[in-house]
Amino acid sequence: MSNETWKKHIVNAINEAYDGTGGIYLDSGTNLLAELGALDGTQASTVLPGAGNSVANQVRHLLTTVRMHEPQFNGGDYPELDWGADWSEIDLSDAEWQELVKTFAATRETLIGWVTSPTVEENDDYVGAALMVATHHAYHVGQIRHAAGYAAQQ
Amino acid sequence: MTATATIPASAIKDATKAALKEAFDSPVGMFLDKGDALWETLEPVTAAQASIPIAPGGNSIAGQVNHMVFYFDVMAGYMRNDPPEHPDWSAAWKVVEVDEDQWQELKLALGQRQSEIITLIDNAPDEVFTDPDIVGGSYAIVAHTAFHLGQIRHALAAQGGQYTATHID
């Protein structure tokens, strides 16, 4: 099996979640980071009626998920994570929101580095973790783009 | 840690099938919470709910499902080494409103595509599963399904009712 073929698709899917360059599930020209950066703190913190969460909640959740995955690639103990905190009410200033977007943007290179690391042990856990993180991002990009569309109109 | 030589094709196939099962049928926590799979999400949705535009003038859940059927057909073409020459992606989004019969037919069509893709993966020998179109097509369907499931669940949550848009782990 060519590892590189499969890894390339996982990396493409990860890239897609950030700036749409993967070409798997977003239309050409879609750039999530640009869409997020165009929101202000109030818009990003706006809870979509019925959905019970904001774009900022979703982004915070993805950051927590990245932290969860690190031991699967690098070894070590799983960190203690407060998943519920991701979804608690949030009220960010413009600067705080832009900082959150910047932090999220940086996780792209982190994830790709983990997936493509020459020293990672490419066992079943690695395959599952790589597939899981790329797919979990895709699921939330779907939710974020829906929520961002609403928030941008507020 | 030390690098190993290659990932067995069987590991990729198994993980891909597990992810498809998670997305469609029964989550075990790979990326969804229990009860959040596509069929669990769509089963109680009425044609009227499926016909509500997600945004004014935008697509509906029925449109999303129709697009997923179209995407499956395109990817299946690649996996069979018979890709469509000029797929008309916009046509798939022309479906917005459906009546109950049309909604049931759409779901039936999606179920048929799900079975077809699983069969294509199962029938691909390991040495064939190295083909970029097959390994790429099969994962693309996983990611694409996850993306639209996220959109559908968020749209349903915004409509009100018992849906939760997110999970907590």
- The neighbouring-strand residues paired with B60 are B53
> Pick the residue with more confidence: A150 or B92?
B92
B166 inside domain: no
Contact state of A150 with B143 under an 8 Å Cβ cutoff: no
B15 inside domain: yes
Please check whether residue B93 touches A, CB under 8 A: no
Asked if residue B139 lies in contact with residue A13, where contact means CB atoms within 8 angstroms, the answer is: yes
Asked if residue B79 lies in contact with residue B137, where contact means CB atoms within 8 angstroms, the answer is: yes
Query: Residue B86 sits in which domain range?
Result: 9-159
The total of structural domains in chain B comes to 1
Q: How far apart are CA B94 and CA B81, in angstroms?
A: 28
B64 inside domain: yes
B134 inside domain: yes
Of A51, A122, A128, the CB nearest to B154: A51
B165 inside domain: no
- Cα B126 to its chain centre, rounded Å, is 23
Helix/strand/coil (H/E/C) assignment for every residue in B32-77: CCCCCCHHHHHCCCCHHHHCCECCCCCCEHHHHHHHHHHHHHHHHH
B53 inside domain: yes
Interface of A with B in 8-67 (CB under 8 A): 8-10, 13, 16, 24-26, 48-53, 57-58, 61
B50 inside domain: yes
Q: What is the CATH number of the domain that holds B106?
A: 1.20.120.450
From its phi and psi, is residue B34 left (phi > 0), alpha (psi between -120 and 50) or beta?
beta
Please check whether residue A76 touches B, CB under 8 A: no
Q: How far apart are CA B66 and CA B70, in angstroms?
A: 6
Please check whether residue B142 touches A, CB under 8 A: yes
Per-residue pLDDT band at A148 (split at 50, 70, 90): confident
Which residues in A lie closer than 8 A to residue B147 (C-beta atoms)? 25-26, 138-139, 141-142
Which residues in A lie closer than 8 A to residue B54 (C-beta atoms)? 146
Of B126, B143, B159, the CB nearest to A134: B143
B100 inside domain: yes
Per-residue pLDDT band at A153 (split at 50, 70, 90): confident
A145 to chain B: closest CA residue:
B151
Please check whether residue B44 touches A, CB under 8 A: no
* Residue B87: CB atoms within 10 Å: 14
User: B129 in helix, strand or coil?
Assistant: coil
Chain A: give the shortest CA distance to residue B15, in Å: 6
Give me the tens of pLDDT residue by residue for chain B, a chain 169 residues long.
Answer: 444 457 888 888 999 999 999 999 999 988 999 999 999 999 999 999 999 988 777 889 999 999 999 999 999 999 998 999 999 999 889 999 999 999 999 999 999 999 999 999 999 888 888 788 888 889 999 999 999 999 999 889 888 765 565 664 4
Say what the pLDDT of residue B1 is: 41
Contact state of B139 with A127 under an 8 Å Cβ cutoff: no
Q: Report all structural domains of chain A as residue ranges with CATH numbers, in order of start.
A: 3-18+31-152 (1.20.120)
Which residues in A lie closer than 8 A to residue B2 (C-beta atoms)? 119, 121
